[in-house]
A and B are shown apart, each in its own frame.
Chain A
Amino acid sequence: MLTQRRFGAGFRRILQDPVLAISLLLVVLFIFIAIVLPILAMIGVSLSEEGRALFGHYLGERAYQDIIVNTLTMGLSVATVGTVIGFLFAYVQVKVKAPFKRFMHLIALVPIISPPFAVATAIILLFGRNGMISKGIFGVRYDIYGLTGLTLALSLSLFTIAYLNFKGMLQALDPSLEEAATNLGASKWHIFRTVTVPMLLPGFAASFLLLFVEAIADLGNPLVLGGNYEVLATRVYISIIGLHDNVAAAVFSVILLVPSLTVFIIQRYWVGRTSVVSVTGKPAGTPQQITHPVVRWGLTGLVLGICALIISIYAVMFVGSVTRVFGVNNTFTLEHFDFVINGYGSDAMVDTTTFAIIATPLAGVLGMLIAFLIVRKAFAGRNIIDFGTMLGIAVPGTIIGIGYLLVFNNPITLTLPFVGDNVPAITLIPKLTGGRAVLGGALAIVIVYVIRSVPAALRSGAALLSQIDPAIEEASISLGANNAVTFRKITLPLIRPAFLAGLIYAFARSMTTISAIVFLTTPQTRIMTQQILNETEQGRYGNAFAYCVILIAIVLVAIGILYLTVGSTTGAERSLEGGA
């Protein structure tokens, strides 16, 4: 009796508030239908008799073993290089007395809004066999295809994750620790080795694992830069797009899912919990900066070099969009923009932007709502909700796409028992993917945009929320507000910075995502990234670059608008920082 009431207590409280109960129910339903079910369906198909036979075949054959090894090697190599670059940027930003810090910071953030394929294609033009740098300057026909190119492209696209991670940690690192070490007579190098690095070890582990997951899930770069270096993600893609073999695709997906999910779980539930950095909020003094000329200029030079590389990649994109054939025929032309705007490009722009605009607030609010439920409402199963939501991003996009194809390619209907055959079945979920899908597949694409963006919003929301004294919300309730009013009038304004970050991320992610929606586009819905893929694959880089330029412009305008509307400060974030 006693125990029963205890377990029931949390839920009983939630059930008392209809708004809370309904939102919880909707969240659970949404997570199950939009995230968990497709993944389960995909696993189910892979375990069919046909699928089990394929497992044996793929795991037993040398050629396929190589694909698996390639995938993991690429993941490790990107994770290593990306983490090092990210750390370098963060270390110079926080700990080294260097010029142009603001500039370096901005450059480090640029990859967030980079469209897929842009980096890979630009790298070919810069470092390929006939690349401007490799051939033009050094005169080598360098073979960028394969692991080297992939590592370069993916590290430059993903290091931002590591950078932001390390930057936060380094800034939070209590300077008194290093001061203490200095007092004890340690040299800077000794401090770096014995204090800074060990303190940041969890950061290294977290960045490494996150980059690993992102890298092995990537589809765009291996398609362009892979050469004959095949990875699982491209195999999944070819199985569906080229061969329409759902079972083979499901089997490859599961093989890809195993390392992704394992690493993700290690990152989230093991490394994520062993952080030694104490965020006190009140650093005891200003961090000392390194002024030793060799270290200072060496590191700064290195970072500026990488900045130059990133800038040159984007420069290639912009110049490439207005030259006939970049590198071969450098005549100025607007034909690529003409093709994009007068072809299907304008449809794609309108469709993609519309879907992203619909998905962005949904993802933002849903992320904050789930964060609120998880952080603030004690009920059994909140960890499951958290995990279910995180699956939306932990699972490679291609796998989500296949899951959707498998689950939603036919309407899900409910035939009522005992009513006879003449009563038509009730459609619970209409056909969402493929030809003649409801709204031309737009619904599925918007949902995928949402589930890919919610996890980031959830994390930033949860992080901020756990820093906010729950008493503030309790005070509101105590004064007579119900949960819904409290969430709207108190919680949401307080987590506005996280909300804004969530919205910006959601929009940028939606506009630039390719792997998750590549199987979901239909003749009625045209997605810019899909068009970029088409143009890139057919080698028409000019058109692809023109798309990229337009896409970046749309994202930048959207970020500006978000800052102006959502970001208008009510003083909440300042107050939080001030510590009311």
Chain B
Amino acid sequence: MAATQNNAADSLRLEKITKVFPSHSGEGEVKAVDAVNLTIQPGEFLTLLGPSGCGKTTTLRLIAGFEMPTAGRILLDGKDITDQPPNKRDMAMVFQSYALFPHMSVFENIAYGLHLRRLSRSEIKSKVDETLGQMGLKGLGDRRPNELSGGQQQRVALARSLVMEPRVLLFDEPLSNLDAKLRIQMRSEIHRLQRRLRITSVYVTHDQIEAMALSDRIVVMNKGQIEQMGTPSEIYHTPATRFVADFIGRANFVDATVIEQAGSRLVVEVLSRRYTVPVRFDYSPGMPIVAMLRSESLTLCADESLPQVVVEQAMFLGSEVEYIVNIGGHNIVVVEQDPRGKSPIAEGQRIGIDFAAEAIHLLPA
């Protein structure tokens, strides 16, 4: 413990944080966050990712101080801030609904926190103007929030937090109210800003693409617990659990039979062909396992020596074609990228399926 206290470089640290709510029926309780340990490095962009109800938003609100943990503690620079009220924490939050103050102008919205810090009028003016410029909101200072477009409102919300230069920036699904095109645009804008300013950020989303695009590290949560923590690439290519694999990207799970164990590798039979594959979890003999195959790692080609599948459905999606094929009663999704010049395989056709050994990722069943 003494080590953590001195380790200022930790930035933000959650120790066995637990949050229990009374259930809606009144009887019993719901564990929204269950003994979560988490360390966020200074300047890091960390995303809490998971389906709704997984506890990611509660975790964020615990960090912000809007909720009080039932157990555990939160440290900022080694200092225990568990009992500190949210307004005393050097953090700023960007809300899903933007939460702009409707009765204030854009300028007043952004200046709000600076006023509370008792900055001089001229200081506030210069800081707000600078932020307005930075966020591409020049000239909109006198507008009311309801006179702005959704994207502009989102920028104001972001500006309002950024102008505070907080130690930690918290994002609660800030892009989910925007239409698809705007979302992508704002995503890259947040990415650019964060990389430039290097403000420690915790970002909550259920959108895996957004998470991968923005994050230094992703924490996948499920049922109040952390399923896996890692860089986007680790999470994508070597998911630790079937849940993570399923939640991120398009994954097919195929039965795998262990033939023999060779050190940290296993010889497995997948779709009646043998492969030697590294195993990344504690394997003990006799344990049932599955092979995860990403849809884009699979190819279909007319080769009789390959395992044969029947094309059930073919959907042309522009940049790719998605096939649902059937083998031995199982459905597998196969994605063919950049389908230019090829005519899609007809539904009902028998065809061979192929993939490299590297495409196989073994998981406990």
A binds B: yes
Residues of A within 8 A of B (CB): 1-3, 5-6, 9-10, 12-13, 16-17, 469, 471-472, 474-482, 485, 489-490, 493-494, 570-572, 574-576, 578-580
Q: CA separation between A476 and B102, bound complex, in Å?
A: 12
Does A580 lie within 8 Å of B112, measured CB to CB? no
Q: CA separation between A122 and B64, bound complex, in Å?
A: 62
| Chain A binder among B65-73, B208-216, B336-344 | B65-73
Given known A-B contacts A471-B97, A475-B95, A481-B87, A576 and B102 have beta carbons under 8 A apart: yes
Please indicate which of the listed interface residues A2, A480, A489 has the most CB atoms of chain B within 10 Å of its own CB.
A480
CB distance from B131 to the nearest CB of A (A): 13
Please give, as numbers and ranges, the residues of chain A lying within 8 Å of B181 by CB-CB distance: none
- Residues 143 to 173 of chain B near chain A (Cβ within 8 Å): 144-146, 153, 157, 160-161, 164, 170
Does B85 lie within 8 Å of A17, measured CB to CB? yes
Which of B96, B153, B160 is within 8 Å of A479, CB to CB? Answer: B160
- Residues 22 to 36 of chain B near chain A (Cβ within 8 Å): 22, 29
Tell me if B275 is interfacial: C-beta within 8 Å of chain A. no
- Residues 44 to 92 of chain B near chain A (Cβ within 8 Å): 64, 66-71, 83, 85-87, 91-92
CB distance from B75 to the nearest CB of A (A): 18
Which of A2, A479, A480 is within 8 Å of B20, CB to CB? Answer: A2
New A-B pairs, 18, CB < 8 Å, besides A469-B97, A478-B92, A493-B103? A2-B20, A3-B20, A3-B29, A5-B70, A6-B22, A13-B68, A471-B95, A474-B64, A474-B93, A474-B99, A475-B100, A477-B85, A478-B86, A478-B87, A478-B91, A479-B116, A482-B87, A575-B144
Given known A-B contacts A16-B85, A479-B92, A482-B87, A580 and B66 have beta carbons under 8 A apart: no
Does A480 lie within 8 Å of B164, measured CB to CB? yes
Chain B 249-268 against A: per-residue CB contact (8 Å), 1 yes, 0 no?
A: 00000000000000000000
Does B85 lie within 8 Å of A13, measured CB to CB? yes
Given known A-B contacts A6-B20, A580-B100, A477 and B87 have beta carbons under 8 A apart: yes
- Chain B residues within 8 Å of chain A by Cβ, number: 40
Please indicate which of the listed interface residues B20, B70, B83, B145 has the most CB atoms of chain A within 10 Å of its own CB.
B70
Residue of B nearest to A577 (CB): B146
Residue of A nearest to B89 (CB): A478
Please give, as numbers and ranges, the residues of chain A lying within 8 Å of B112 by CB-CB distance: 476, 479, 481, 489
Q: CA separation between A12 and B82, bound complex, in Å?
A: 11
Does B102 lie within 8 Å of A572, measured CB to CB? yes
Please give, as numbers and ranges, the residues of chain B lying within 8 Å of A9 by CB-CB distance: 67-70
Please give, as numbers and ranges, the residues of chain A lying within 8 Å of B91 by CB-CB distance: 478
Does A580 lie within 8 Å of B87, measured CB to CB? no
Nearest 6 pairs of A and B residues by beta carbon: A575-B102, A479-B113, A572-B103, A471-B99, A9-B68, A475-B99
Tell me if B355 is interfacial: C-beta within 8 Å of chain A. no
Please give, as numbers and ranges, the residues of chain B lying within 8 Å of A480 by CB-CB distance: 87, 113, 116-117, 164
Tell me if B101 is interfacial: C-beta within 8 Å of chain A. yes
Residues of B within 8 A of A (CB): 18, 20, 22, 29, 64, 66-71, 83, 85-87, 91-93, 95-103, 112-113, 116-117, 144-146, 153, 157, 160-161, 164, 170
Q: CA separation between A500 and B70, bound complex, in Å?
A: 40
Which of A10, A16, A477, A571 is within 8 Å of B144, CB to CB? Answer: A571
Q: CA separation between A325 and B64, bound complex, in Å?
A: 72
Please give, as numbers and ranges, the residues of chain B lying within 8 Å of A477 by CB-CB distance: 66, 85-87
CB distance from B92 to the nearest CB of A (A): 6
Q: CA separation between A475 and B93, bound complex, in Å?
A: 7
CB distance from B157 to the nearest CB of A (A): 8
Please give, as numbers and ranges, the residues of chain A lying within 8 Å of B101 by CB-CB distance: 472, 475-476, 490
Q: CA separation between A477 and B95, bound complex, in Å?
A: 12
Please give, as numbers and ranges, the residues of chain A lying within 8 Å of B70 by CB-CB distance: 2, 5-6, 9
Does A485 lie within 8 Å of B116, measured CB to CB? yes
Please give, as numbers and ranges, the residues of chain B lying within 8 Å of A12 by CB-CB distance: 68, 83
Please give, as numbers and ranges, the residues of chain B lying within 8 Å of A485 by CB-CB distance: 116
Please give, as numbers and ranges, the residues of chain B lying within 8 Å of A16 by CB-CB distance: 83, 85
Does A580 lie within 8 Å of B113, measured CB to CB? no
CB distance from A544 to the nearest CB of B (A): 45
Majority DSSP secondary structure for residues of A touching B: helix
Does B71 lie within 8 Å of A5, measured CB to CB? yes
Given known A-B contacts A5-B71, A478-B91, A575 and B20 have beta carbons under 8 A apart: no
Q: CA separation between A295 and B69, bound complex, in Å?
A: 61
Please indicate which of the listed interface residues B64, B99, B146 has the most CB atoms of chain A within 10 Å of its own CB.
B99
Q: CA separation between A490 and B160, bound complex, in Å?
A: 15
Q: CA separation between A10 and B85, bound complex, in Å?
A: 12
Q: CA separation between A6 and B128, bound complex, in Å?
A: 40
Please indicate which of the listed interface residues A13, A478, A570 has the most CB atoms of chain B within 10 Å of its own CB.
A478
Please give, as numbers and ranges, the residues of chain A lying within 8 Å of B29 by CB-CB distance: 3, 6
Which of A490, A571, A580 is within 8 Å of B153, CB to CB? Answer: A580
Instruction: Show 14 residue pairs from A and B whose CB-CB distance is below 8 angstroms, ordered by the A residue.
Output: A2-B18, A2-B20, A474-B66, A474-B99, A475-B93, A475-B95, A475-B99, A477-B87, A478-B93, A478-B161, A478-B170, A479-B161, A571-B102, A572-B103
Which of B68, B93, B102, B117 is within 8 Å of A494, CB to CB? Answer: B102
Q: CA separation between A578 and B147, bound complex, in Å?
A: 9
Please give, as numbers and ranges, the residues of chain B lying within 8 Å of A493 by CB-CB distance: 103
Which of B20, B103, B113, B164 is within 8 Å of A571, CB to CB? Answer: B103
Q: CA separation between A479 and B85, bound complex, in Å?
A: 12
Please indicate which of the listed interface residues A6, A13, A494, A572 has the most CB atoms of chain B within 10 Å of its own CB.
A6
Does B92 lie within 8 Å of A471, measured CB to CB? no
CB distance from B91 to the nearest CB of A (A): 7
Please give, as numbers and ranges, the residues of chain B lying within 8 Å of A479 by CB-CB distance: 87, 92, 112-113, 116, 160-161, 164
Please give, as numbers and ranges, the residues of chain B lying within 8 Å of A3 by CB-CB distance: 20, 29
Does A575 lie within 8 Å of B146, measured CB to CB? yes
Please indicate which of the listed interface residues B18, B68, B117, B161 has the most CB atoms of chain A within 10 Å of its own CB.
B68
Residue of A nearest to B164 (CB): A479
Q: CA separation between A494 and B170, bound complex, in Å?
A: 25
Q: CA separation between A2 and B71, bound complex, in Å?
A: 7
CB distance from A107 to the nearest CB of B (A): 34
Q: CA separation between A16 and B86, bound complex, in Å?
A: 11
Residue of B nearest to A473 (CB): B99
Please give, as numbers and ranges, the residues of chain A lying within 8 Å of B87 by CB-CB distance: 477-482
CB distance from A103 to the nearest CB of B (A): 33
Which of B66, B68, B146, B170 is within 8 Å of A579, CB to CB? Answer: B146
Q: CA separation between A575 and B102, bound complex, in Å?
A: 6
Q: CA separation between A281 and B69, bound complex, in Å?
A: 35
Q: CA separation between A475 and B109, bound complex, in Å?
A: 10
Please indicate which of the listed interface residues B67, B91, B112 has the most CB atoms of chain A within 10 Å of its own CB.
B112
Q: CA separation between A272 and B16, bound complex, in Å?
A: 41
Residue of B nearest to A575 (CB): B102
Does A478 lie within 8 Å of B64, measured CB to CB? yes
Q: CA separation between A477 and B66, bound complex, in Å?
A: 9
Which of B95, B157, B160, B164 is within 8 Å of A474, CB to CB? Answer: B95
Residue of B nearest to A496 (CB): B103
CB distance from B276 to the nearest CB of A (A): 48
Does A570 lie within 8 Å of B164, measured CB to CB? no
Does B99 lie within 8 Å of A472, measured CB to CB? yes
Please give, as numbers and ranges, the residues of chain A lying within 8 Å of B116 by CB-CB distance: 479-481, 485
Does B103 lie within 8 Å of A570, measured CB to CB? yes
CB distance from B113 to the nearest CB of A (A): 3
Q: CA separation between A13 and B64, bound complex, in Å?
A: 13
Q: CA separation between A477 and B92, bound complex, in Å?
A: 9
CB distance from A468 to the nearest CB of B (A): 9
CB distance from A540 to the nearest CB of B (A): 51
Q: CA separation between A471 and B68, bound complex, in Å?
A: 17
